[in-house]
Amino acid sequence: MERNRTPAAAEPNKNKSDPEKVKVIEWEEFDQELARLWSLSSALKDAQEKKQSLKQKLESLIEVEAESLNRSNELEEMQQKLEARKVVMGNMSMHSMVAVEDTKKNEGQLSTELRSLLVAGTALSAARKKLEESNQLLSRDNGYIRLKNLQKMLRRRQQNMITQVSLLYPVKFTMGPAHEQELESFPNTSRSGNSARFKPANQGTLTILGLHLTMLPFKMTSFFTDKKEVQKSATALGYVGHAVCLIASYLKVPLRYPLRLGGSHSYIIDYGPSVEPTSSDLSSNTVVSTDVKHVEFPLFLDGQDTTRAAYAVFLLNKDLEQLLNYIGVKSLGPRHVLANLKELIRTVQSVDYIDT
């Protein structure tokens, strides 16, 4: 029995110090054990081959998964870009719709302006035809003489109508003490504006329909101001305003500052941009402009600001200055209302006015 054991089993004391146990195999079991080891070796080899195959498959799957993830990220980026382009396209579509609407509006305005232009062209052609006819009439014999005669007839008619105004609202020079009147006497004034004014020994005053135009209340008012004098001045300004409106209509001159007549409670309208005038503006004969809305200024002092009333008188005198300039005469001064009115009527009633 001792002979059938392997050498490893014959010396058990040699392996006492080995921590691992040595399996003793009988000779009869050696073939079986060898076959088992061979089988295990084959199974291990198969397992390693399967492991290698699985490793290759897993690597290929990992590569496919990575490629799929990359493509998914690219697809998401493309979707984001698509959404951004959709937003841009929506904005462009909105702008396009607005541009189309603006174009339609502009087309409507253009068509309206075109129709207006056609109407204006028709009116211009008619006016040009009338001008040619007038030129033909003037070019004929006695054409210019006929025109001058018509102008003289028109001026005579204007002279006659303004004479009626002077009879309705006579502006006279009365002798007596001055009551803070607006100007000195002026017996002679040329059409160029060079006046030969002088003071007589007994200074007189100008009146309209017997009323004095006292300027003192328009400078300052107090509790002791004479109310009757204020009322008379307002009435006189109402007369002047009515006379100015009549003369402007007869001369066919549109007033720069139109009036809203109301007797002693008349108003003058400033359509130009202006602010509330100050005393320095009135003294320097200038108007500061800021507001485009028209403003009415009272030609009376009853319950009104003295500055506004004084500015209304200033504008009334500007209307008189406009009429004087129209007939070729200079104004006598920024505060000489009655004097300018008298000079206007005197110039129109003169013989030189018809021959102008």
- pLDDT by 10-residue block (mean), the chain, 356 residues: 43 50 74 85 89 90 90 92 92 92 91 92 93 78 75 89 91 64 42 41 66 67 62 89 94 92 90 58 49 78 81 91 92 85 91 80
Question: Would you tell me how many other CB atoms lie within 10 Å of the CB of residue 169?
Answer: 21
pLDDT at 279: 53
175 membership: H or E segment, kind and range: strand 171-175
Alpha helices in the chain (DSSP H): 7-10, 27-139, 143-168, 216-219, 227-251, 279-284, 306-326, 337-349, 351-355
- Extract the tokens encoding 124: 């211009």
Which three-class secondary structure state does DSSP give residue 195? strand
- What's the burial of 82, exposed, middle or buried (CB within 10 Å: 0-12/13-18/19+)? exposed
**How many Å apart are CA 22 and CA 63, to the nearest integer?**
47
**How many Å apart are CA 209 and CA 166, to the nearest integer?**
10
Q: Which CATH number fits domain 171-355: 3.30.60, 3.40.50, 1.10.418, 2.60.40?
A: 1.10.418
Rounded alpha-carbon distances, angstroms, from residue 238 to 5, 213, 242, 266: 159, 11, 6, 6
**How many Å apart are CA 70 and CA 166, to the nearest integer?**
105
- The residues that bridge with 174 in the sheet, in sequence order, are 205
**How many Å apart are CA 247 and CA 250, to the nearest integer?**
5
pLDDT at 202: 35
**How many Å apart are CA 266 and CA 283, to the nearest integer?**
23
Q: Which of 228, 206, 209, 203 is nearest to 217 (CA)?
A: 228
Instruction: Answer for the pair 248, 254: CB distance below 8 angstroms, yes or no.
Output: yes
pLDDT at 33: 82
Rounded alpha-carbon distances, angstroms, from residue 231 to 18, 207, 223, 234, 356: 146, 14, 15, 5, 40
pLDDT at 141: 61
Question: Would you tell me how many other CB atoms lie within 10 Å of the CB of residue 195?
Answer: 16
pLDDT at 187: 39
- What's the burial of 332, exposed, middle or buried (CB within 10 Å: 0-12/13-18/19+)? buried
* The model scores a pTM over 0.85: no
- What's the burial of 310, exposed, middle or buried (CB within 10 Å: 0-12/13-18/19+)? buried
**How many Å apart are CA 326 and CA 348, to the nearest integer?**
11
253 membership: H or E segment, kind and range: none
Instruction: Answer for the pair 231, 264: CB distance below 8 angstroms, yes or no.
Output: yes
Those residues with Cβ within 8 angstroms of residue 213's Cβ, 6 or more apart along the chain or in another chain: 181, 182, 206, 207, 233, 236, 237, 240, 337, 338
Which three-class secondary structure state does DSSP give residue 189? strand
Domain ranges across the chain: 46-140, 171-355
**How many Å apart are CA 234 and CA 51, to the nearest integer?**
123
Q: What does DSSP assign to residue 21?
A: P
